[in-house]
Copies of this chain bind each other. A is one copy, B any other.
Amino acid sequence: MAEPTICERIAIIGLGLIGSSLARLVRRDGLVGHIAGCARSDETRVRAEELGLVDSIDADPAACVRDADIVVLCTPIGAYSGLAATIAASLKPGAIVTDVGSVKQAVIRDVGPQMPNGTHFVPAHPVAGTERSGPESGFAELFNGHWCILTPPPETSQEAVDRVAELWHRAGMMIEIMDPAHHDLVLAVTSHLPHLIAYNIVGTAADLEEVTRSEVFKYAAGGFRDFTRIAASDPIMWRDVFLNNQGAVLEMLGRFTEDLTALQRAIRWGDGEALETLFRRTRELRRGIVDAGQA
């Protein structure tokens, strides 16, 4: 009954929330023969060994990818370009390089051209996460029931795409193939803008002169706490997302601000009907999310 393994050797570069969750999953379900991990910091490498996340651990990405059939980049996306340069010469012929980044056009620009002939790059984005980070925060079930978006350029080998799809399918994910520009637009609204807004409101609250931090903490149950959870997400990962999806984020931010100005005007002029109409409409949208199983 056991399904075949995905490949003999997988290299996971970066063992934070996503990388360590993938390692746990791959280990739990016996999806590969050998898990090679790579982490820059001594602390993460020690924790990864203590947690039994990997079969081998390296500080050097080039050493980690040697002999790997599949290489998964799981660092913040700002590090991808340097990583690609570092590993290129060590990739074995036929190796598949993939990633988990939340932006796809920038990744294709940064990684794609550096991959040697005879290797394959399949850009991927498993859309799942929590606000926690680090090797302790991962869990094998993180991906289950969510969507993974693949954005392979047209010339990508179908076999390589299928192999990456199979990996995430075995993680419990549903697979979607999408144009990278469209991916970046969709994620700007469903993920990047929400994070930006959450970071911003928590910052605004922290700066108030008349309301103490202690008051903000005590009465967070009124709605604020959900924003603080999102705004606790990894600072480097999110810095890199905003720097690398600038166009789509600025576009969505412009629309958001326009709408907010209209709402502000409705409050100032006491237009209860405008408020109620919007609030009823957003409630309907929630029902759609619940129906889609993503609540």
| A interface, CB within 8 angstroms of B | 78, 102, 127-129, 131, 146-147, 149, 176, 182, 185-187, 189-208, 210-211, 213-233, 235-236, 238-240, 242-243, 246, 249-250, 252-253, 255-257, 259-260, 263-264, 267-268, 270, 272, 275-276, 278-283, 285-289, 291-292, 294-295
Distance in Å: Cβ of A160 to nearest Cβ of chain B: 23
Distance in Å: Cβ of A29 to nearest Cβ of chain B: 21
Q: Is the CB of A238 within 8 A of B279?
A: yes
Distance in Å: Cβ of A188 to nearest Cβ of chain B: 9
The answer to whether A223 and B190 touch (CB under 8 A), given A197-B201, A199-B278, A282-B199, is: yes
Q: Is the CB of B285 within 8 A of A225?
A: no
Q: Is the CB of B259 within 8 A of A204?
A: yes
Cα distance A238–B243 when bound, in Å?
Answer: 35
Copies in the complex: 2
Closest to A236 in B: B276
Q: Is the CB of A200 within 8 A of B256?
A: yes
Cα distance A286–B215 when bound, in Å?
Answer: 13
Cα distance A198–B197 when bound, in Å?
Answer: 9
The answer to whether A206 and B282 touch (CB under 8 A), given A189-B224, A294-B221, is: yes
Q: Which residues of B contact A147 (CB under 8 A)?
A: 218-219, 221
Q: Which residues of B contact A217 (CB under 8 A)?
A: 288-289, 291-292, 294
Q: Is the CB of B252 within 8 A of A204?
A: yes
Q: Is the CB of B267 within 8 A of A191?
A: no
The answer to whether A224 and B194 touch (CB under 8 A), given A291-B217, A294-B218, is: yes
Cα distance A260–B259 when bound, in Å?
Answer: 14
Interface centre among A185, A192, A226 (most CB of B within 10 A): A226
Q: Which residues of B contact A187 (CB under 8 A)?
A: 219, 222
Q: Which residues of B contact A201 (CB under 8 A)?
A: 193-194, 197, 256
Q: Which residues of B contact A207 (CB under 8 A)?
A: 255, 259
Distance in Å: Cβ of A198 to nearest Cβ of chain B: 7
Cα distance A208–B185 when bound, in Å?
Answer: 10
Q: List 19 A-B contacts (CB under 8 A).
A: A128-B221, A147-B219, A189-B216, A202-B285, A202-B286, A204-B252, A204-B255, A204-B256, A206-B281, A207-B259, A220-B292, A223-B230, A226-B229, A231-B283, A235-B276, A235-B280, A239-B272, A253-B267, A257-B257
Q: Is the CB of B211 within 8 A of A189?
A: yes
